[in-house]
Amino acid sequence: MIAVLLIWIPVISGLACFFLPKGNAARLFALFSSVVILLVSVLGLTVFNDPVYLQKKYEWLPVLGSTFFVKLDGIGQVLTLLTAVAFPIIFVSTWNHEYKNASRFFALMLLTQAGLMGVFVAMDALLFYFFWELALIPAYFLCSIWGGERRIPVTFKFFIYTFIGSLLMLVAIIYIYNGTSVKSFDISAFYSVVFSSNTQGWLFWLFFVAFAIKMPVFPFHTWQPDTYEQSPTAVTMVLSGLMVKMGLYGLIRWLLPVVPVGVNNWAVSVSFLAVIGIVYASLIALKQNDLKRLVAYSSIAHMGLMVLAVFSNKEAGMQGAVMQMFNHGINIIGLWIVVELIEQQFGTRKMSELGGIAQKAPALAILFVVVALANIALPLTNGFVGEFLMFNGIFTSGAYDGMYTLFGRWQFNTSSLSLIFTVLAGVGIILSAVYMLNAIQKVLYGDTVQRTAMTTDIKGNEKMILGVIVCIILFLGVYPQPLLDLPKEAIESVLKEADISHLLKK
């Protein structure tokens, strides 16, 4: 019931929002709807935390073997909670932004939320694919209508790139469906199907390319910085805070348990891509002058670390990744709010044109610094908990061991790959400290320039929203246990499905 409500409330309110008159009614209605969804999500966590309420199965396409099967387990609850929390924050933080045709804007945002919720709760492969695409369409319209100057070609590239990935995933889904014994798209049927190692290999890649384009993972990341820069800030918050989690969630739910042998074979290659992405994106972030692009590249680096942790095949790594999905969502939204505030007040996002804001805007400075430190994963912030767990998983992982043959000639015994990956990822963290502190230094401290001479501090509701985010950061940094307990059972079952140690020769 809860899962069904989480999808249907945003759909209905989104469609209704199209018909609202212009003006503030749409804004209020969207905020109200997102708060209702937050309530439903919290109820699902507390009062109605019972499988009876959390799942629902409807008949949909019996001729195809597909049902409308939605279920909230631990991992799903973390992510739907993130989505439910993020949308009110996004709406309140962009409250004063004027949009033309505001009712359509908020309607599309609510429909995006519906698509996101659907992805996180779908337990039927065809339904999962439906929602995966459906989250994309409103985002396409949002970016193309309300975006920046180069929005049309940039969004088009984003759409087609993501669409190609999704279609490749569709081929894999159909192939696996064809291999199930009862011809069903149900997730349990997908978990129980068995393919040969070679088949699993290219099924792995078909799925992984789709998820890699979404997250994005190097080298499929070229659409991301432009799209984040050109889209309106509220949409960027949705894209970077929530949509990238779709990719990582897909890895955990639909890749690891379904093609475990393929994962085992290709884990090292993918981990290399992830590590290269971390270092590469961090290095590029160092050179950025535009705050939005800096945050975009920083996001690629963070997602790279999470991919690395997911493929570590260790419970600590997975727990860290799932928790970090929530943390990264909150932190990055906080960062985007700060960027938006700076852009609104000073009309520029270039760090070279800013400086000395902290003198006149201490509240903004404090809150910005805390969010940035959370991004760097300083202890006492939520980012630290996630990263520590992830590093633990990567360092102690046995997934990278084995004999590897490069180009058919050179043989490697890779017992020390986990060390190499940990070190390189650590370099990424250090670099993130460099570019974040550099950004803070340039923007907040130093001498004021002409543009920032008449700074005013942030207002009440902006302070409140950033305050809420900072509170979450500090609370989870000190007491993360509830968020770790929530997905524990689900993670254990995923790891069990992905476990192929009984197949490997001793």
Binding site for another protein (CB under 8 A): 61-63, 129-130, 133-134, 137, 141, 144-145, 151-152, 156, 159-160, 163-164, 167-168, 170-171, 174-175, 177-178
Min dist. Cβ of residue 384 to another protein (A) = 40
CB neighbours of 224 closer than 8 A, spacing ≥ 6? 216, 296, 299, 300
164 vs 380, beta carbon nearer another protein: 164
Which of 441, 440, 320 has its CA nearest to residue 383?
320
254 vs 391, beta carbon nearer another protein: 254
- Are residues 220 and 213 in contact, defined by beta-carbon separation less than 8 angstroms? yes
Min dist. Cβ of residue 112 to another protein (A) = 14
Distance CA 238, CA 244 (A): 9
Min dist. Cβ of residue 133 to another protein (A) = 4
Min dist. Cβ of residue 100 to another protein (A) = 12
Say which amino acid occupies 458: I
152 vs 430, beta carbon nearer another protein: 152
Distance CA 500, CA 259 (A): 10
Min dist. Cβ of residue 437 to another protein (A) = 39
Min dist. Cβ of residue 13 to another protein (A) = 18
- Are residues 335 and 470 in contact, defined by beta-carbon separation less than 8 angstroms? no
235 vs 444, beta carbon nearer another protein: 235
Distances, alpha carbon 391 to alpha carbons 113, 171, 297, 315, in Å: 31, 34, 21, 12
- Are residues 255 and 205 in contact, defined by beta-carbon separation less than 8 angstroms? no
First-to-final CA distance of the chain: 46
The residue whose two tokens read 């969004």 is: 155
Min dist. Cβ of residue 11 to another protein (A) = 11
Half-sphere exposure of 388 (CA within 13 A, CB side): 13
73 vs 186, beta carbon nearer another protein: 186
Structure tokens at 37: 């969804």
167 vs 194, beta carbon nearer another protein: 167
134 vs 437, beta carbon nearer another protein: 134
Distance CA 118, CA 403 (A): 41
Other CB atoms within 10 A of residue 175 CB? 15
E strands, 382-497, in order: 403-406, 410-413
